[in-house]
Copies of this chain bind each other. A is one copy, B any other.
Amino acid sequence: MIYLKKKNDANMTSTHSKGSSSEHRGKFKGIPDPFPVQKLKRVDRPTTLIHDDEIKRVSELDGGFQRAGKGEYGNFIQKEYRRFMEKYPLSDALLDMSKGLSRVVDGPVRKNKAPLPDDPKLISRHIKETAYFLRADMVGICELPSYAVFTHSRWDGEPIELNHKYAIGILIDQDWKTSRAFTGSDWISNSMSFISYSTSGFIACILANYIRKLGYPARAHHAMNYQLLVPPILLWAGLGEMSRIGDIVINPFLGSRFKAAIVTTDLPLAIDKPIDFGLQDFCTKCKQCAKHCPVQALSHGDKIMHNGYEKWPVNVERCAKNRVGNQHGSGCGTCLKVCPWNKPNTKFHNFISWTMRNIPFARRFAARGDELLGYHKPKSKWKWWYDFEVVDEEFKEPTDKQKKS
């Protein structure tokens, strides 16, 4: 195997003498990289405090949606939870696919190990390149923090044991055009979440299976079958910072317009570092999400400490009830829509984004500029979907409130 290792090592380092695992397809492809994560400023720890020793693992059963489903937010919300995705045909079809993918997150591990290079940096590079080949938008790697693992699964209520050493985060964009066209809380909102959930899940399931076929344990985690809390992994893997939206991580190229799937594994990997693109300062100044939240679930104030994490507080009950109970749409993504980081990959917006990342003074004008340019409003000429809902298997028109909007 010596020849093979040497050849691959040489091959994969010759043009990358610095050998960082953060290196990215953009350097090779000869075409512009839409998401140049390798250009971001890296720091040793996430930009929000994490008291690793104080964090208590949480149960998936205690999430807002699970509470809605259990009836803790009242009968009406419980009833609406049962048709939350199904009431709109596209989110319904996407949910079916995600459910199908819940059955292929894990499987047998090949007994023999592949002759991979000894250097974990090279293996990380290979795994990232593989994820990009599988059409991931962004990829980052960290050690799996033990506190990110759920205590119990919402599917069977059983205790979870997950001891993999590394976590690979895979981001998928929710689609710029759709985010520009929608109101924030109309009929396409849940479909936007689930195109990213199902696609990142699809990639994670293939990648985990590939790693198992290389002889190492690996499990995919996606919306219909998580064993862990995603945000801490995104922070440590350099894919975003904690934001005013509360438990939501914002990425400098997508805002919160993404969903993530995770692969956990014992394959030896080099890890990425957290990023700092000035978001803590930015979110202190901007407040667009808090201003536009239809149920005032987000804070206009300062960060707090909660279960060992420094974060802006969010009223989970209000947010979940609004999304599940929305009678004029399927879900809600208003905070996603109005965030100034929710922009397309154009030269103009990339320049503005660079300014926001690097010039603190400029951040004061972001919220104002966005409103002046109308980014918080729906660009209805870009709308491509239809407004209707399925009630008891029959299609219903939008309500009066929607007609007027």
Residues of B within 8 A of A111 (CB): 393
Cβ A346 vs Cβ B210 within 8 A:
no
Cβ B8 vs Cβ A177 within 8 A:
no
Given A30-B346, A115-B397, A89 contacting B8 (CB threshold 8 A)? no
Cβ A104 vs Cβ B93 within 8 A:
no
Given A30-B344, A177-B29, A345-B31, A133 contacting B384 (CB threshold 8 A)? yes
A264-272, A325-333, A352-360, A375-383 - interface stretch: A375-383
A11-19, A54-62, A285-293, A316-324 - interface stretch: A11-19
Query: Does any Cβ of B come within 8 Å of A309's Cβ?
Result: no
Cβ B344 vs Cβ A386 within 8 A:
no
Cα A12 to Cα B4 with chains together (Å): 57
Cβ-closest chain B residue relative to A199: B135
Cα A209 to Cα B110 with chains together (Å): 34
Cβ B206 vs Cβ A1 within 8 A:
no
Residues of B within 8 A of A12 (CB): 383-384
Interface of A is mostly: helix
Q: Which one of A4, A8, A25 has the greatest number of beta carbons of chain B within 10 Å?
A: A4
> Copies of this chain, how many?
2
* Segment 1-48 of A: residues with Cβ below 8 Å from B: 1, 3-4, 7-8, 11-12, 14-15, 25, 28-31
Query: Does any Cβ of B come within 8 Å of A164's Cβ?
Result: no
Contact with B along A127-141 (1 / 0, CB 8 A): 001100111000000
Choice from B103, B195, B390 contacting A133 with Cβ under 8 Å = B195
Query: Does any Cβ of B come within 8 Å of A125's Cβ?
Result: yes
* Segment 68-126 of A: residues with Cβ below 8 Å from B: 89-90, 92-94, 96-97, 100, 103-104, 110-116, 125-126
Query: Does any Cβ of B come within 8 Å of A387's Cβ?
Result: yes
Residues of B within 8 A of A31 (CB): 176, 344-346
Apart from A1-B397, A4-B387, A114-B388, list 18 A-B contacts with CB within 8 A.
Answer: A4-B388, A7-B387, A8-B387, A89-B114, A89-B214, A93-B206, A93-B207, A93-B213, A100-B100, A100-B103, A111-B393, A112-B393, A115-B386, A125-B384, A130-B385, A133-B178, A133-B191, A199-B202
| Contacts A/B (CB < 8 Å), 19 sampled | A3-B403, A7-B403, A29-B177, A31-B346, A90-B210, A90-B213, A92-B213, A93-B209, A97-B202, A110-B390, A112-B394, A112-B395, A114-B386, A126-B385, A126-B386, A130-B385, A133-B384, A135-B195, A198-B206
